């Protein structure tokens, strides 16, 4: 059985790495890894960390590329590679332009598609944008839907997709996180080297770790986020560290408004190993990322999500994630409240137990 695993962004690579490793260790499966290069600079770090080599690099990115331009280039490149290699199945992940375009191309070739992290829904087509559209497209054309939670499975059934093969697997990002955390915990020299990468951090202060990159927050949203971070940095014994995304719509307001502010450290995007270390060291995580909502609960960290809606309601229902939007006062008040809470003694993560990739492999073999 020849299976092509396709990804293009760093989050996709992190979440598909456990699947690739499981497939490559299984007898009777010829696993091909294809990258579109949607996040070229950040992708290499993940591939190196998980010791994965790509078989194809489609090199789809171009300067100032629009979403339509990216979608069409992925579609065109996939047309060529699918025609040459004719895999028995392709696996795509999540809600990226790479996933939607690659799945569309495979559908046109009548190649079966497996969707890892299927069934997530915010209920609003423009939040997150364009991800909500992308994930719906993939679920429509895929025949195997690997839902991370029972709630995601119910979303698929509600959309009359029950005739497809739907299975609840857990989220593969938990597999990836636990693998990396295990390395940090078991290798003291590695842990020390990670600490040395962030000498600016004061161990006596609480760390607020920030990530932000969502398109729906471009403009006024990021202006408000920056004001909130400015106010958070003035709280007693608090420091803020923000690995700033490469997108100029993020960098311009963040660097323009927060550079050289006391207690705010703006750094370049960090590799996944460093990010897992920073999550473990943090007291509160402030983010608009989907993946962080799934990862941080496994570390017992409170997560404040700078969005009005989330396609990952399970963590909100479990009380480990809170929606705070981009309102300045709401963010600051929520951070202050989270910092005052005692550390969690019981780890609750509704997104899985670290065995999602093994379940996906089992389903592929059985089918």
Q: What is the pLDDT of residues 218-270, one digit of tens each?
A: 889 899 999 999 999 999 999 999 999 888 888 999 999 999 899 999 999 99
Do 276 and 293 contact (CB within 8 A), yes or no? Answer: no
Roughly what angle, to the nearest 10 degrees, separates helices 131-141 and 97-108?
30
Q: At 116, list the tokens.
A: 């890892």
What's the token pair of residue 62?
Answer: 């171009």
CB 302 within 8 A of CB 320: yes
Catalytic hit among 12, 95, 224, 311: 95
pLDDT tens digits, one per residue of 123-132: 899 888 899 9
Q: What is the pLDDT of residue 69?
A: 93
Contact 125, 42 (CB under 8 A): no
Please provide the size of the chain in residues.
Answer: 367
Q: Is 144 one of the annotated active-site residues of the chain?
A: no
Establish whether 165 is a catalytic residue.
no
The rounded distance, in Å, linking the Cα atoms of 285 and 296 is 8
- Residues 264-310: tens digit of each pLDDT: 999 999 999 999 999 999 999 999 988 899 999 999 999 999 998 88
d(CA 195, CA 118): 36
Task: Indicate if the pLDDT at residue 39 is higher than 80.
Answer: no
pLDDT, tens digit (0-9, with 9 covering 90-100), for 168-206: 999 999 999 999 999 999 999 999 999 999 999 999 999
The arithmetic mean of pLDDT across residues 122-149, rounded, is 94
Output the pLDDT for position 289: 86
Q: Helices 97-108 and 67-85, interaxial angle, to 10°? A: 40
d(CA 152, CA 139): 11
- Residues 98 and 35: their CA atoms lie apart, in Å, by 9
Q: Is residue 144 very low, low, confident or very high in pLDDT (cuts 50, 70, 90)?
A: very high
Q: 217 to each of 59, 129, 222, how far by Cα in Å? A: 28, 10, 6
For the chain, domains (ranges, CATH) are 2-171+352-366 (3.40.50.2000), 189-340 (3.40.50.2000)
Position 42 pLDDT exceeds 80: no
Catalytic residue among 12, 117, 224, 311: 117
Catalytic site residue from 213, 230, 281, 336: 213
Catalytic, out of 121, 144, 245, 359: 245
217: left (phi over 0), alpha (psi -120 to 50) or beta: alpha
43: confidence class by pLDDT, cuts 50, 70, 90: confident
What 3-state class would DSSP assign to 75? helix
Name the average pLDDT for the chain: 94
The pLDDT score that the predictor gives to residue 128 is 86
State the pLDDT confidence band at 113, using cuts at 50, 70 and 90. very high
CA nearest to 15, candidates 179, 144, 128, 150: 179
pLDDT higher at 362 or 260: 362
Buried b (16+ CB within 10 A) or exposed e, 241-263: bbbbbeeeebeebbeebbeeeeb
Sheet containing strand 284-287, strands side by side: 264-267, 238-243, 206-211, 284-287, 303-305, 321-323
- pLDDT over 90 (residue 160): yes
What number is the average pLDDT over the span 55-75?
91
Active site residue 39: no
Q: Which one from 89, 215, 307, 359 is the annotated catalytic residue?
A: 215
pLDDT tens for 345-355 read 788 889 999 99
Q: Which of 131, 132, 288, 311 is catalytic?
A: 131
User: Does residue 132 have an active-site annotation?
Assistant: no
The dihedrals phi and psi of 267, each to the nearest 5 degrees, come to: -125, 165
């Amino acid at each position: 059985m020849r299976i092509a695993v396709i990804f293009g962004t760093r989050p996709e690579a992190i979440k598909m790495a456990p699947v690739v490793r499981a497939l490559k260790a299984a007898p009777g499966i010829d696993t091909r890894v294809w990258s579109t290069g949607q996040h070229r600079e950040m992708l290499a770090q993940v591939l190196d960390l998980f010791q994965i080599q790509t078989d194809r690099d489609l090199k789809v990115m171009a300067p100032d590329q629009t979403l339509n331009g990216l979608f069409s280039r992925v579609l065109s490149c996939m047309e060529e590679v699918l025609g040459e290699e004719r895999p028995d199945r392709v696996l795509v992940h999540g809600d990226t332009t790479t996933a939607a375009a690659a799945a569309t191309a495979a559908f046109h070739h009548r190649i079966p598609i497996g969707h890892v992290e299927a069934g997530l829904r915010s209920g609003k087509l423009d939040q997150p944008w364009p991800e909500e559209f992308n994930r719906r497209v993939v679920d429509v054309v895929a025949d195997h839907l690997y839902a991370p939670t029972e709630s995601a499975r119910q979303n698929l059934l509600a959309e009359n997709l029950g005739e497809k093969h739907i299975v609840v697997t857990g989220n593969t990002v938990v597999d990836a996180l636990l693998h990396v955390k295990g390395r940090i915990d078991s290798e003291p020299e590695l842990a020390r080297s990670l600490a040395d990468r962030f000498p600016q951090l004061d161990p006596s202060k609480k760390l607020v770790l920030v990530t932000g990159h969502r398109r729906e927050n471009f403009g006024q949203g990021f202006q408000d986020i920056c004001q909130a971070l400015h106010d958070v940095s003035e709280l007693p014994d608090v420091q803020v560290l923000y690995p700033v995304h490469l997108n100029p719509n993020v960098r311009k307001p963040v660097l323009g408004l927060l550079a050289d502010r006391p207690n705010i450290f703006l750094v370049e995007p960090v590799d996944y190993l460093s990010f897992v270390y920073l999550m473990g060291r943090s007291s509160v995580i402030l983010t608009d990322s989907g993946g962080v909502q799934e990862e941080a609960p496994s570390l017992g960290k409170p997560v404040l999500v700078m969005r009005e809606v989330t396609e990952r309601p399970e963590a909100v229902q479990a009380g480990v994630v809170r929606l705070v939007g981009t309102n300045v006062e709401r963010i600051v008040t929520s951070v202050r409240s989270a910092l005052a809470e005692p550390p969690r003694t019981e780890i609750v993560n509704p997104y899985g137990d670290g065995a999602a990739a093994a379940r996906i492999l089992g389903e592929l073999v059985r089918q």
